[in-house]
Structure 1
C-alpha cells in the first residue's frame, strides 16, 4: 500500500506562520473613516420599551468609528447631566431629553430628525 500524502485537511485546517505581521485573509478590517457631521443623518427616538418603564432617548444612524461614537455619547451625556451608554451603534441617554440632544447635535453640525411620539 502506498502512503497517503498529508494535506491541510489532515491538520484541521490550521496553518502556522512564523511571520509576526501575518494576518489571515478574513481578519483584515479596513479602518472606517467617520464622515463629517454635515454628512450624517441621525434619528432621535424616545423609548421606554424593555427598560422597566424607564424612559430613554436613543440616537441612531451614526456612521463611523466606534471611538467617535463613544466620544459623542460621552459629550451628550455630560452636557445633559444624565447617564447613559453606547451599545450596538446607538447612543442611549437616560430620560426624555430628546429636544436638548437634538439642539446640541444641530449645534455640532449634525442633521437630526425627530422620530416617533
Structure 2
C-alpha cells in the first residue's frame, strides 16, 4: 500500500531553501500565509496583570493594539525600556515581566492610546 507524498502534508524541508511552510509551500523566511493582517479592535487598549501558568510570577499584558507584528515589537521594546524589565510579544499580546500596569498605562496614554485597565 503506497500512499502519495502529497497526502502527508507536502514538502517540509528542502536542502536548497531550508524549512518550508506546509500551507503555501514557500521557504519559511518568505512565507506569505503567516503574514498577519492588522487586527481590528474597538480602539481601546486593555492592560491587565496575570499570574496564571507562570509559577506565581506576575506579568503585565497589553491587548487590543491594532498594530502589525513589527509595530507590536517596536512598542513592546519601548514599554520594556519604560518599565526597566524584560518581556515579549506573543500572538498579538505584549507581555511585560512584573506588575507594571500603572507604568504601562501612563506610557500608552502619553503615546495617545485610549487605555483601559482590565481584570481586577
TM-score of the pair, normalised by structure 2? 0.66
Match of 2:104 among 95, 101, 104: 101
CA distance in 2, matches of 1:46, 1:29: 29
SS of 2:117 mapped into structure 1: strand
Q: What RMSD over aligned residues (CA atoms) do the two structures have, in Å?
A: 2.7
Listed as ranges, the gaps of 5+ residues in structure 1 are: 1-11, 15-22
Query: Counterparts in 2 of 1:31-70, with a 5 A limit?
Result: 32=37, 40-70=43-73
Q: CA deviation at 1:34?
A: 8.7
Q: Does the aligned pair in 2 maintain the 1:32–1:64 contact within 8 Å?
A: no
Q: Does the aligned pair in 1 maintain the 2:48–2:118 contact within 8 Å?
A: yes
CA distance in 2, matches of 1:86, 1:78: 14
2:75 is equivalent to residue 87 of structure 1: no
TM-score of the pair, normalised by structure 1? 0.68
CA distance in 2, matches of 1:76, 1:103: 10
Q: Does the aligned pair in 2 maintain the 1:34–1:68 contact within 8 Å?
A: no
Q: CA deviation at 1:65?
A: 1.1
Query: Counterparts in 2 of 1:66-81, with a 5 A limit?
Result: 66-81=69-84
Q: Does the aligned pair in 1 maintain the 2:36–2:69 contact within 8 Å?
A: no
CA distance in 1, matches of 2:90, 2:68: 13
Query: Counterparts in 2 of 1:104-115, with a 5 A limit?
Result: 104-115=107-118
After TM superposition, which residue ranges in structure 1, 4 or more long, deviate above 3 angstroms?
27-35
Q: CA deviation at 1:29?
A: 8.2
